[in-house]
């Protein structure tokens, strides 16, 4: 059936509500119709993500139902009906509706659904799956994507996003749901009467808070510094407002200023077009308030509160300095490893975990404290998977994990990145340094001087639609056919192709296994401790280019990074 026939079915079939049919009947742009119906919105290894709207290639109640039916079929095949599924959602448009549709589809398949009564951070969903002993979890969120997006992420019983074999098996089940008649649903009142639809009570929030506070190392320092340490925080209209403010208050931070214009949940994100802490635009209001309050720290969490962005005031210049996810993650890692080593609370066989595109400073920090470092593919689900493996094998003790895209996790109470614990640990570190007359920027400079001037960057190319997807694949194919010998003045020492599971030494020609699950990723090991990595995004129509260098100063590192970035992007644009 071609896209036109599917479009006609959606316009005419009474299965679809009147609003959906009216939205589609009003379309006149043939390209728009094609984009909405040329494919089924792809259920990837993490779930769904797409633009909200009517059509098979959009996020709507029908695509959510279809994906949930596939998930339900898999859960039934695993005899997980009684254990049930926990469901959370953030502030995005249609999030409550999508959460309810998912729950009622599960209920119609005899599967219990535990649903949060209002928006919650994604990491609390990860925590709740484990607390409730559920088979799986669902969170409705598009994370930091623009306002027109929403998404649907699936977690398994360990609290981590689905990984092999469950991800592939669920993909198969979702792909087999091809007819509307295969999708089940039921009325909410009936589901509640049968005990299938259940609300999660406030005791879950309390338990989550207690786990966050257990990660604190020096709570006794906070009251001393809290009188002077000023913190500006914005939840960017998302789910972080209540939990972040609560944990800071319960730890004793008193000088917390919240950006009023961005305090309340709003899926239209009226003050910012791109609710992403990585976006400079998102900081305008927070930095304005910080200047007025003369704040030490400026913090922002994304809509589902799993990513944290940071600015710090330089006490010398009075200017606010932006921290990358690598920088804030390394500050937290250094604080945890140093202080736990000093006070004797470091567990046996401690482990620090990072993704392959995260800063190489992590290797130096881990080595300084005798902590074993593990690398995984891009995506925090692989960090969560490794925590589970540690526990099953009774091998290492997970201490901290991070990825460059502003996500980290201290402790193993959850299996996904958590901006709430990141805020807490960073503020505690700031309090620690405040008692020494230092800022977080001072601490960062000390780390550069101790470990080296590591600097990283990211560039993306957005290529939408059918043609864009083909172009992205063409770039990856070309890079495999014509391997680079040098990039940005650095010699290419080895190339890892994770899709082929190979690592080729460019000098000797020796080929060995890359050693991680197969993925469409190319990684270049370069001379002088530099590197770069190329991969298509798993959630957006983009191809991503990551870069990392080690310099002798901040200026030297910046020059090296820009040279590397320009060379690679220039080659790919030819």
Check residue 485 and report its DSSP letter.
S
As to burial, measured by CB atoms within 10 angstroms (0-12 exposed, 13-18 middle, 19+ buried), residue 21 is: middle
**What pLDDT does residue 42 have?**
86
Confidence category of residue 330, pLDDT binned at 50, 70, 90: very high
Helix (H) or strand (E) holding 267: none
Q: Whole-angstrom Cα distance, residue 523 to residue 546?
A: 9
For residue 423, being part of any structural domain is answered with no
Residue 226 within any structural domain of the chain: no
Give the whole-angstrom CA distance, residue 514 versus residue 525.
Answer: 12
What residues act catalytically? 143
Supply 308's token pair. 């944290």
Judge contact between 302 and 276, C-beta under 8 A: yes
Q: How many CB atoms lie within 10 A of CB 496?
A: 22
The CATH number given to whatever domain includes residue 487 is: 3.30.310.50
Give the residue-averaged pLDDT of 389-418.
Answer: 97
- What's the pLDDT tens digit per position in 532-543? 999 998 767 789
- What is residue 505's three-state secondary structure? strand
Q: Which of 164, 179, 201 is the last residue of a domain?
A: 201
Is 369 among the domain residues? no
State which H helix or E strand residue 374 sits in.
Answer: strand 372-376
Give the integer Cα–Cα distance in Å for 493 and 495. 7
Name the phi and psi angles at 428, rounded to 5.
-65, -40
Query: Looking at residues 9-18, what average pLDDT do you find?
Result: 95
Q: What integer is the mean pLDDT of 50-74?
A: 96
SS in 3 state form for 438-499?
CCHHHHHHHHHHHHCEEEEEEEEEECCHHHHHHHHHHHHHHHHHCCCCEECCEEEEEEEECC
Task: Give the 3-state secondary structure of residue 20.
Answer: helix
Query: Could you tell me if residue 136 is inside a domain?
Result: yes
Domain span at 524: 453-573
Q: Is residue 180 part of a domain?
A: yes
- Binned at pLDDT 50, 70 and 90, residue 464 comes out as confident
Higher pLDDT, 541 or 323: 323
Q: What whole-number distance in Å separates Cα of residue 434 and Cα of residue 313?
A: 12
Extract the tokens encoding 75: 């859960």
Query: Which of 156, 175, 201 is the C-terminal boundary of a domain?
Result: 201
Residue with tokens 């598009």: 142
Question: Would you say residue 573 has pLDDT above 80?
Answer: no
Q: What is the pLDDT of residues 170-196, one digit of tens each?
A: 999 999 998 888 999 999 999 999 999
Which pLDDT value is given to residue 539? 67
pLDDT at 572: 58
State the total domains in the chain.
Answer: 2
User: What average pLDDT is seen over the chain?
Assistant: 95
DSSP per-residue codes, 186-204: --HHHHHHTT-EEEPPTHH
Helices (H) and strands (E) in the chain, counts: 19, 23
Question: Among 109, 113, 82, which residue's Cα sits nearest to residue 100?
Answer: 113
73 within a domain of the structure (yes/no): yes
The model's pTM: 0.94
DSSP class of residue 282 equals G
Q: Are 164 and 122 in contact (CB under 8 A)?
A: no
Among 201, 234, 249, the domain-final residue is 201
In this predicted structure, the answer to whether residue 197 has a pLDDT above a threshold of 70 is yes
Transcribe 375-408 into DSSP letters: EE-SSHHHHHHHHHHHHHHT--EEEEEEETTTEE
Whether residue 374 lies inside any domain: the answer is no
CATH of the domain at 157: 3.40.120.10
Q: Is residue 122 part of a domain?
A: yes
Write out the DSSP string of 345-362: -PPSSEEEEEETTS-THH
78 close to 165: Cβ distance less than 8 angstroms: no
Q: Check if the beta carbon of residue 271 is closer than 8 Å to that of residue 261.
A: yes
* C-alpha dist (Å) from residue 326 to 154, 279, 317, 462: 26, 15, 23, 23
pLDDT > 90 fraction of the chain, expressed in percent and rounded = 89
pLDDT of the residue at 144: 85
């Amino acid at each position: 059936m071609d896209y036109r026939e599917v479009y006609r079915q959606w316009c005419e079939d009474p299965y679809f509500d009147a609003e959906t049919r009216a939205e589609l009947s009003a379309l006149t742009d043939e390209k728009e119709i094609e984009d909405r119906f040329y494919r089924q919105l792809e259920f990837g290894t993490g779930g769904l993500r797409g633009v909200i709207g009517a059509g098979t290639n959009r996020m709507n109640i029908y695509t959510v139902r279809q994906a949930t039916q596939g998930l339900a079929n898999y859960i039934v095949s695993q005899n997980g009906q009684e254990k049930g599924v926990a469901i959370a959602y953030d502030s995005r448009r249609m999030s409550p509706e999508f959460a309810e549709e998912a729950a009622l589809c599960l209920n119609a398949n005899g599967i219990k659904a535990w649903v949060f009564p209002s928006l919650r951070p994604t990491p609390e969903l990860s925590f709740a799956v484990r607390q409730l002993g559920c088979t799986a979890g669902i969170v409705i969120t598009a994370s930091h994507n623009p306002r027109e997006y929403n998404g649907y992420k699936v977690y398994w019983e360990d609290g981590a996003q689905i990984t092999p074999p469950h991800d592939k098996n669920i993909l198969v089940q979702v792909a087999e749901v091809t007819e509307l008649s295969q999708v089940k649903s039921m009325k909410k009142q009936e589901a509640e009467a049968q005990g299938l639809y259940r609300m999660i009570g406030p005791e879950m929030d309390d338990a989550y808070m207690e786990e966050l506070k257990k990660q604190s190392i020096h709570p006794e320092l906070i009251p001393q510094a809290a009188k002077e340490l000023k913190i500006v925080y914005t939840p960017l209209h998302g789910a972080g407002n209540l939990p972040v403010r609560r944990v800071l208050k319960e730890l004793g931070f008193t000088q917390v200023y919240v950006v009023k214009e961005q305090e309340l949940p709003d899926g239209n994100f009226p003050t910012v077009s791109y609710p992403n802490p990585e976006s400079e635009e998102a900081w305008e209001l927070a930095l304005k308030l910080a200047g007025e309050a003369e704040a030490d720290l400026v913090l922002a969490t994304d809509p589902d509160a799993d990513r944290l962005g940071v600015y710090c005031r330089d006490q010398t210049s009075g200017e606010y300095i932006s921290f990358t996810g690598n920088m804030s993650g390394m500050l937290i890692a250094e604080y945890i490893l140093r202080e736990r080593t000093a006070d004797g609370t470091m567990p046996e066989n401690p482990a620090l975990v990072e993704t392959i595109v995260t800063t190489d400073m992590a290797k130096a920090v881990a080595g300084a404290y005798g902590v074993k470092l593990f690398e995984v593919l891009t995506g925090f689900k692989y960090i969560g998977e490794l925590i589970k493996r540690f526990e099953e094998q009774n091998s290492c003790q997970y201490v901290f994990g991070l990825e460059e895209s502003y996500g980290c996790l201290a402790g193993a109470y959850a299996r996904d990145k958590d901006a709430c614990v990141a805020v807490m640990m960073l503020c505690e570190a700031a309090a620690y340094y405040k008692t020494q007359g230092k800022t977080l920027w001072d601490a960062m400079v000390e780390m550069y001087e101790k470990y080296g001037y590591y600097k990283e960057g990211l560039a993306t190319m957005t290529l939408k639609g059918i043609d864009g997807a083909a172009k992205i694949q063409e770039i990856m194919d070309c890079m495999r056919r014509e391997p680079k010998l040098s990039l940005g003045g650095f010699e290419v020492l080895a190339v890892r192709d994770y899709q082929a599971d190979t690592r080729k030494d460019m000098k000797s020609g020796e080929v060995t296994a890359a050693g991680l699950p197969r993925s469409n990723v190319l990684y270049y090991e370069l001379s002088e401790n530099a590197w770069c990595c190329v991969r298509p995004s798993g959630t957006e129509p983009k191809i991503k280019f990551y870069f990392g260098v080690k310099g002798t100063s901040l200026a030297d590192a910046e020059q090296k990074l820009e040279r590397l970035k320009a060379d690679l992007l220039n080659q790919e644009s030819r």
